[in-house]
Structure formats: C-alpha cells, structure tokens
Structure 1
Amino acid sequence: MYRWIRPLLFQMNPETAHKLTLTTLSRIPSVSSFFGQAKADSALLSQSLWGLRFQHPIGLAAGLDKNGEAVDAFLKLGFAFIEVGTVTPLPQPGNPEPRLFRLVDDRALINRMGFNNEGAIKLHERLAKRHISGIVGVNLGKNKVTDNDRAVDDYIQLVRELYSVADFFVINVSSPNTPGLRDLQAADTLIPLVDAVLKERGRQNALQGGPLKSHHANEQSGALTGRQTNLGGRARGALPPVLVKLAPDLDDEAIVDVAKRLVDVGVDGFIATNTTITRPSLQSQHRAETGGLSGKPLKERSTDVVSLVYRATEGRVPVIASGGVFTAADAFEKITAGASLVELYTALIYKGPEVIEEIVNGLQSLLQAEGFHSIKEAIGALHRT
C-alpha cells in the first residue's frame, strides 16, 4: 500500500508530510492495520532484556514521534518497542524551518530540528492515556535555554516527571542540532550527569515502594516479577533501564573509554548511534545542508560503533543499533556485531511500514540459515568467530 502513498508524501515538504502522517496515525490508529503487522517466531526472535520481554528486536527510533502522538498506531504496526522524544522539560519550537531534507538518491535524511517538542507534561499525559500494550522508551534532552552547567537539572526533572510512564530512558547528549549539547559527551561531564540520573531513578523507585534492582548482565535474561504499570512492559517496582545514546562522530578511543566508564557507573545500555555531522560521498540535492545525517550513509559507522561498545563492555550491557538499517541483512549485521535490538527511522520513510515485517521475517530466515537457535546466540557472534 505504501508504494501508492509515498509519491504523494514525497511531493510535500518533508516536515509537512511528517506532520500529516502523525496526525493521521494519532487520530485513526486503526489505519495501521492496512499495512499488516510483523509476526515473530518467539522461539527465535524473542528475548528478555532489563526485565522487559521483546517479541522481536525491531523498534522505532526516537525523533519520529517526539510527542508520543501515535504510540498506539506504531505499536499496532508491529514494532516490538518504540522510543519517543526527544523530550525536554519545557516546550520549545526547535530551529527555524526548513529543517528536514530528503536525500532520495542516497536513501538518507538530514535534519536540524533542534528538539522541537511539546514538553514533558504533555508527553506524560499522552503516554498515560495510551490504549495498546507495548514497550515505550523516552529519549531525554535539555532545553536550548538551559546552560550546560545546569543541564543535569533538566535530565533529573525529566526522570521525575516521566518515571511512571517510561519503560526505559535514553540520555541524549549526542544530537548535533542543539548548540553546545555535544560538549556534554566528554567523559568528565557525562559521568556525573549519568550518575545523577541514576540516583534520581532510585529516588523515584523508592517513592513508589519498589525494590532497588540492577539490570546488569547477570540479570538480563530473566523477566522481573510483579504487576505491570500502565500498558508498558515494565513490572511495578522494577527500575526502568537508563541508556546513553552515542554520537558516531566521536573517535574510536573516546567511544571505548566512555563506554567502559559508563558501565562502571551503572548505565544499563547504549544506543549506537545518533545522526552524524560528517558528509560521506553524497549525490542528492540537499547534501550540503547542515544538521544530522541519517540513513544508508550512516550504516557502516553505526555498525563499527556497535562493535566498539560491545567489545569495550565485553557484552555486559545491551546495545541498541540505530543507523542505516533497511533490510534484514542490515539488521543481522548489527546483531552479530553486538546489538541486542535494532531501531529504524529512515527506512520507514523510504520503504513504509511493510519494512518491519520484511525485516522480522528475513531475520528469522537468516538466523535459521546460519544455524542459530535464538537471537541471543547471534548477538556478538562476529567477535566469537
């Protein structure tokens, strides 16, 4: 069906098409049924991570549904999990338009949105009212007007306000579109910020009467007991895992160093990677636009970062791969490099919702063909060969 819709959407300004799609999905979630739904063989593709049960490894990356408008529809499309945001404590308009560009010849996007969103209170309201069960994570950022020396306050406030509706949190200090944000990636700045977020998570857990429970490697395979909160996958009393999203533009040594130090502090996982400010060989009209580049040109570097993090942490915490995944073979490459889960964004724009089922079914076939009995056997297999 998407092959008939895409030409109409691609005639529109990219942000107009984006808003139209979200509005349609939010008001009529049942429209997602026209695109089918991914069905996974649980014996092959399901796994438990952080006490959350993932039906298969394919999820929606942050940035597409910043305000949690279409959570029900995206879950109905067949994503095993979705990541909403980036959200900031206060609403903000983001950068001036135009700020989103299609690079059709390169199967890529460039965006300089600038954390445009309606703020934490609005997101909380929407997530609290959703109807479809499923795993929903929240990507956290600071407001543009917040100085870096006070950035930790924004992240703490977000954990406090969204704790009851998030199945996991992602600390985003790697977007290239908020001035000065990437300065927070330096280990000496990032470590105290992450430590403060983890402590706030513990405080919120204590306020709700939950036990303090780590999610590190020896506990990743078992689901936590307890009643689920709202419609998420997180059991009541369980700590929502805290992940850090990494920039692909850090050098290899910095990625290894920060990954090791963050695991020692207690971070529960990583997302590799955010968009890139580098410009590999591109062909499309908008190749010189400023902003973060996503899609096919990011695939190789994203996989490299997955490998670096997996090796640096010795697989002790899960890695979510994000960057350039268009096919089952792309996803399989990320998994064998060390990714436990894989997120899509740009592929959804170019190939439509059918890409979810295509990748899920293709992954099952690839796992069987390579002799794996479960996805967990395949995670990081490249490093054991």
Structure 2
Amino acid sequence: MYKSLIRPVLFKFDPEEVHHFTFSMLKNFGFITRVFLPKPIEDKRLEREVFGLKFKNPVGLAAGFDKNAVLFNELADLGFGFVEIGTVTPKAQAGNPKKRLFRLIEDGGIINRMGFNNDGLQAAIEKLKGNKEKIIIGGNIGKNTDTSPENYTEDYLQCFEGLHPYVDYFVLNVSCPNVGSHAKLEDVDYLRELITAVKEINLTKTVQKPVLLKIAPDLNHRQLDEIVDLIAETEIDGVIVSNTSVNREGLKTPPEVLEQIGNGGLSGKPIRERSTAMIKYISDKSNKAFPIIGVGGIHSAKDAMEKLDAGASLVQLYTGFIYEGPELINDINKELLKRAGRLTR
C-alpha cells in the first residue's frame, strides 16, 4: 500500500517538507497506522541481547529521522526494535541553508547536507521525559557547527552528561560529512582522546551506558585497521557501519544533476555493497570481538540478511524506510523467523 499509493504522492513534493508532514501525521494521527498497516511482528525468537541490552528485534531506525526525540513512542508502534535519536548538539542550530535534501530516485538514494539541524540538548531531554519505555533508545551526539576545535570534546561530553539518564546507549557521530572540521573528527588520535574522555565520565555513573562509534563508508582498509585497533585499545562497546558517503561513483543519476545538487552525504542503495563489505572486513579483522550495527542501503529483507551474515548483530534503516515504507520492518522480521524455523527443525 505504501509503495503503490502513498509514496507516489509524497515523492511529488520537496523531501524536507514531506519529512515534516510525515512527522505531523505520525504524531497526531498515529492510530491510522494501526488500521492500514500490518500489525508489527512480536516473537521471542526475534530478541537479541547486544552490548548488555535486550532488543525485541534487531531492526532499528538510524539517527537523522527523529532528530529531536519527538516520535520514538510512535515509531515503536511501527515495529522497530530500537530508535536512535539525534544527532543532538548542545545548542539548537538551524543547520545548513535549504535546499539541503535530495532524492536520487533512479538510484534509490538520498543526498543530504542537513548540517546537524536540531533543537538542542535541553529540548531533547524534555521530550525524552515522555518516554513510555516501549523501545530501546540510542542517543547520537555531535558538536555544534560553530564550536572551535579545542572545544569539540566538551560538546560531546555535555550531550553525554545531559542524555545519560534518558537513553540506553550512545553513538559518537564523528563521520558525518556535513559538518565543519570533518577531518579532525576522524583523526585516530583525536578519537582516542574523545573516547577516553567519554569513558571517564561513564565510569562515574552508577549505570554505565554502552558507547559506540559511527564511521564513514569511505574509509580504506588501513583506516579500518586503525579503527579496529582503536576499539580494542579503548574497549568501547561497538561500532556502527556506516554513515553517509561523499563518493558519487557508479550512480545512474546524470552528472549534471549531481553537480546541481552539490555536496552532501549519500545514503541508500548506492552504498549498500560498500557498507556490507566494511562490516565483513571489520568483523573478520577483529575476530567478532565487538558488536556491529549495520546500516546503509537496506531496502529489502535480503539486504538486511546480507548485513547480518557479514557480521552485524543489529541493523538500522533510514533511506530504505523512506523508499519502502514501514512494511520493510515486518519483511525483515518475517525472514528472520523463517531462518529461525529452519534452524529449529
């Protein structure tokens, strides 16, 4: 129903306007989804225990959709096993100038240069106080655009402190191509400094929350080796593979259209293979030493199985959710149950 009736209408309008419209509909008329969409699948065989947390199923929503922690209760009703809010920054910021969100329909992709637009830490905290505890919530945190390099870590620490009572795990977003000083954020020495500072605060808490690193799909093997070594050294809890890409190779969208769109992070089908290859490389290189959340180009149950087979413990949707609709969550969980049935026979 979504792909045949709803998506053709939504795709006639500006992507960012559609995003806000969809938000409003889910927030104010969420009961409609329970009438027109299949009931979410709930089955004990779908449960996963990863970095000390029990997920009701392994299909999550990636950061960037519910930036301000407005919709996590409604998203839980669609069947997600977990929702990652953010990216949250200490201060509210408008992000980059519009137009900044573009569909690549021929490629099944999206290019965005949103620039961490969000309502800020305090607004997110207020929304999270309304948590009905239906779902595991991750907190994706970053720095403000106008923060000077010597204060980057302080921005992350401020968000970590503020969100700690309200989220179940944290993601250090150091790989978004749409923020300033991107190079420093992926420098291994700086990452070591950042992770160490976050861990020190985490250890002062009565309950320590899992901390993950989100990395870009454009890293080479040498850089991935450094990430694997860094995770082993700092003993953080896992990694998310991967963020959006600046690579434009192999796209069906004409070069002149891409030039008109300009810079931004590419997500969706075009990065599926790269993301999956990275998951396998990291999983093999580390000998499965830590959990991986696989994200990037999941538009079908088959795509999700590829990520899980490559070494991911959990998967996240974003662009696939926009293109394929909420039914994709059930499709993936149905395939997992088929596998579970085969294994128990």
Where does structure 2 lack aligned partners over 5 or more consecutive residues? none
- Name the count of aligned residue pairs: 339
Deviation of 1:132 (Å): 4.9
| Alignment root-mean-square deviation, CA | 1.6
1:287 aligns with 2:258: yes
Q: Which amino acid aligns with 2:222?
A: E
Instruction: State the partner residue of 1:328.
Output: 301
**Residue matched to 1:268:** 237
Q: 1:264 to 1:108 in 2, by over 3 A?
A: same
Q: How far off is 1:9 after superposition?
A: 0.9
Q: Write the distance in 1 (CA, Å) between the matches of 2:245 and 2:303.
A: 18
User: Deviation at 1:50?
Assistant: 2.1
Instruction: State the distance in 1 between where 2:147 and 2:101 align.
Output: 24
Alignment of 1:296 with 2:265, yes or no, is no
Distance 1:373 1:60 in 2: 29
Paired residue type of 2:18: A
Contact 1:106 1:296 (C-alpha < 8 Å) held by counterparts: yes
* Separation in 2, partners of 1:12, 1:130: 32
Q: Deviations over 1:15-37 (max 9, x none)?
A: 00001111222233323313233
* Change beyond 3 A, Cα 1:373–1:120: farther
**1:232-283 deviations in Å (ceiling 9; x for gaps):** xxxxx3x210000011111111112122222321210000000000012212
Q: Deviations over 1:148-206 (max 9, x none)?
A: 22100000000111001010000001000002134211111111101111111222x1x
- Residue 246 (1) aligns with residue 215 (2): yes
| AA in 1 matched with 2:287 | E
Structure 2 distance, partners of 1:88, 1:313, is 31
Preserved CA contact (<8 Å) 2:40 2:77: no
C-alpha distance in 2 between matches for 1:196 and 1:153? 9
Question: Cα deviation per residue 1:288-330 (whole Å; 9 max; x = unaligned)?
Answer: 3310000001001101111122123221211000001111111
Q: SS state of the match for residue 68, structure 2?
A: coil
Matched, 1:134 2:138: no
Q: TM-score, normalised by structure 1?
A: 0.85
Of 263, 282, 285, the residue aligned with 1:309 is: 282
Alignment partners' CA distance in 2, 1:153 and 1:301: 32
1:359 is aligned, of 332, 336, 343, to 332
Deviations 1:345-372 (A, max 9, x none): 1111111111111111023224545xx4
Instruction: Give secondary structure in 1 for the equivalent of 2:164.
Output: helix
* Counterparts in 2 of 1:37 and 1:59: CA distance versus 1, 3 Å: farther
Is the contact between residue 301 and residue 328 of structure 2 (CA under 8 Å) also seen in structure 1? no
Is 1:151 paired with 2:180? no
Could you tell me which residue of structure 2 aligns to residue 231 of structure 1? none
* Pairing 1:1-385 to 2, within 5 Å after superposition: 1-2=1-2, 3-33=4-34, 34-43=36-45, 45-203=46-204, 205=205, 210=206, 237=207, 239-284=208-253, 286-288=257-259, 289=261, 290-369=263-342, 372=343
Give yes or no for contact 1:76–1:132 (8 Å, CA) kept in 2: no
Gaps of 5+ in 1: 211-236, 375-385
State the alpha-carbon separation in 2 of the partners of residues 141 and 281 from structure 1: 30
Partners of 2:229 and 2:341 lie apart in 1 by 33
Residues in 2 aligned to 1:28 and 1:70: alpha-carbon distance in whole angstroms: 12
TM-score (norm 2): 0.94
